[in-house]
Structure 1
Amino acid sequence: MTQEPDILCIGSVLWDVIGRSPSHMRQGSDVPGRITRLPGGVALNIAMTLVRFRLRPALLTAIGQDEEGHELVRACRDLGLITDHVYRSTDLPTDTYMAVEGANGVIAAIADAHSLEAAGGKILRALSDGTLGSDLHPYDGLIALDGNLTQRLLEQIARSPLFARADLRVAPASPGKAERLSPFLTHSRATLYVNLEEAGLLCQTEFDSSEAAARGLLERGALRALVTDGGNSASDATPDGILTQTPPSVLVTRVTGAGDTFMAGHIAAEAAGADRDAALTRALKAAATYVSGEHAT
């Protein structure tokens, strides 16, 4: 029997291949470390954290029917995620993300989300065929949407009646894809989750603080914007005002996935009824716990 989801996570679900070293690194560095392969992708990172906060996320994504895809779907189910609505392609391979992290942060990363991009609107079938929603009865719950989708599909989503009643929570997959979110800058139901660099790219300028960036996004027409700046401040901006907090100080042992954990922690806090101030505190605590190497709870 198909479970009823608390939230839909739309976007990349893939294998993360991460090389981590405790050393400071630069271009050309060759150092000892550890290489891991784990389920990842922005949508999946968000979904996994939501499960830890006792929510039931459903994935809308593309996963191949290759061995890597079968293994990934099994792993997602074992994590407590609803995979009934995943588009399983017979001719596209399962996507992969590869990154190298040193003590000084992410040195380099490559996201191969070509299968997700090629699948296009097929991943959204459950929102139109009556399974989760339709044109006449659009899905009216929470949706976490990531920027690994194509610019064209994101533009279609921003205009689509299928999303007209949803509480949209939107994040870019990386600074390189931040400008794909421009259709949501003036969207009437979208909350943006970005870091300082991504906010600058969306506003075509540079900001020196999360508060300035959040204000800039509001001035560009955003309904609501949450901006993070690593271990510095994070801000939540709405027309009612801007809240700014500083995250807890922790020893950083990993970076990839921190922004996704922040977003999931914030969504879960608000779903549980927390006000803006408490939700921001909980999200920052979840992200700090994650980068320290622990699990968010």
Structure 2
Amino acid sequence: MMTQTPDILCIGSVLWDVIGRSDAQMRQGSDMPGRITQLPGGVALNIGMALSRFGLTPALLSAVGRDTQGDALITACKARGLITDYIYRSDDLPTDKYMAVEGANGLIAAIADAHSLEAAGDKILQPLSDGLLTSPYTGAVALDGNLTLDLLGQIAQSPLLAQADLRVAPASPGKAMRLMPFMRASRGTLYVNLEEAGLLCQTSFDSSKAAAEAMMGRGAKRVVVTSGADPTTVADKDGTITQSPPPVTVARITGAGDTFMAAHIASEINGLAAEEALRSALDAAALYVSGETTI
């Protein structure tokens, strides 16, 4: 029996993050000493863990293998306050992984192996159609672009989520174009960085404000455009809000965008006004990047 009612659904990748980090500057071909860690990760899970830290109760909709790695991942998710009852457990698909290498100069390279999530397809949405979750769902939904383009297109048009507060992120620049169904349908709040905004608009931008305005002009309902240490912009039909993140010493990168998105969602769910919500999210992301907090 379900013992908790979720405040928000996190739909997308739930996997293991394998992160190698060196304190030295790195480039292609570098071989440096450092630390390698394995932690629960994936965009949907990272957002869920951060939302839990901000006082919400998230439920995960994803695919996790019925293997040793998957069992350990489910246990880790539960220990972090996440509802895992709705996760699709596959007997023949392995648990997904993400691998990244970071140096003092930022992310050097990363590979996301979310093939099991993609292969599971719309099976991960079954709780929305079989009565386990209220349908149509009217709460907040954090959605990531590790799903296939076809499935994201279905979600953008689905009556099961037509009344939901959709919050969508592409997961990586390589998957930015997967947000196009939401641009065309004018659905949800889209969280992108400057590069991803440029890919969606088939151009490049010098500022988050210019990128946000261009995305609105192409049909987006609401957008949040980040640009690293440069100003971030939120845009909707009422105009734009642009704020600069606080300056910090960078201790890590992987997960920063997910922390920002989670903090922004939590702030708005808790009733903060637009400017206050953006400031709260930028402050939370800065603390995470500096190493002072965890997801």
**Which TM-score applies when normalising by structure 2?**
0.98
Determine the structure 2 residue equivalent to 1:17: 18
String of CA shifts for 1:176-213, please: whole Å, max 9, x gaps. Answer: 00001100013344100000000001111100101011
Identify unmatched segments of 5+ residues in structure 1.
none
What amino acid is aligned across from residue 79 of structure 1 in structure 2? R
Determine the structure 2 residue equivalent to 1:227: 225
Identity %: 69
Q: Among residues 123, 137, 145, which one is paired with 1:147 in the alignment? A: 145
> In the alignment, is the contact (CA less than 8 A) between 2:21 and 2:102 conserved in 1?
yes
1:168-247 matched pairs, under 5 angstroms: 168-247=166-245
String of CA shifts for 1:9-52, please: whole Å, max 9, x gaps. Answer: 00000000000011110000001100000000000000000001
> In the alignment, is the contact (CA less than 8 A) between 2:187 and 2:220 conserved in 1?
no
Determine the structure 1 residue equivalent to 2:258: 260
> In the alignment, is the contact (CA less than 8 A) between 2:247 and 2:286 conserved in 1?
yes
**Which TM-score applies when normalising by structure 1?**
0.98
Secondary structure of the residue aligned to 1:202 is: helix
Q: Whole-Å Cα distance in 1 between the matches of residues 51 and 157 of structure 2?
A: 27
Determine the structure 2 residue equivalent to 1:37: 38
Determine the structure 2 residue equivalent to 1:59: 60
> In the alignment, is the contact (CA less than 8 A) between 1:120 and 1:149 conserved in 2?
yes
What amino acid is aligned across from residue 103 of structure 1 in structure 2? A
> In the alignment, is the contact (CA less than 8 A) between 1:59 and 1:85 conserved in 2?
yes
What amino acid is aligned across from residue 114 of structure 1 in structure 2? H
Q: Whole-Å Cα distance in 1 between the matches of residues 205 and 186 of structure 2?
A: 24
Q: Whole-Å Cα distance in 2 between the matches of residues 90 and 157 of structure 1?
A: 25
What amino acid is aligned across from residue 83 of structure 1 in structure 2? T
Q: Whole-Å Cα distance in 2 between the matches of residues 240 and 139 of structure 1?
A: 26
Q: Whole-Å Cα distance in 1 between the matches of residues 258 and 218 of structure 2?
A: 24
Determine the structure 2 residue equivalent to 1:70: 71
Q: Whole-Å Cα distance in 2 between the matches of residues 17 and 209 of structure 1?
A: 32
Deviation at 1:296, TM superposition (A): 6.2
Deviation at 1:133, TM superposition (A): 2.9
Q: Whole-Å Cα distance in 2 between the matches of residues 295 and 107 of structure 1?
A: 23
How large is the Cα RMSD of the aligned pairs?
A: 1.0
Aligned length: 294
Secondary structure of the residue aligned to 2:250 is: coil
Identify unmatched segments of 5+ residues in structure 2.
none
Determine the structure 2 residue equivalent to 1:118: 119
Residue 235 and residue 296 in structure 1: after superposition, are their counterparts in 2 closer, same or farther (change >3 A)? farther
Secondary structure of the residue aligned to 1:70 is: helix
Residue 191 and residue 104 in structure 1: after superposition, are their counterparts in 2 closer, same or farther (change >3 A)? same
String of CA shifts for 1:87-116, please: whole Å, max 9, x gaps. Answer: 000000000000000011100000000000
Q: Whole-Å Cα distance in 2 between the matches of residues 231 and 38 of structure 1?
A: 26
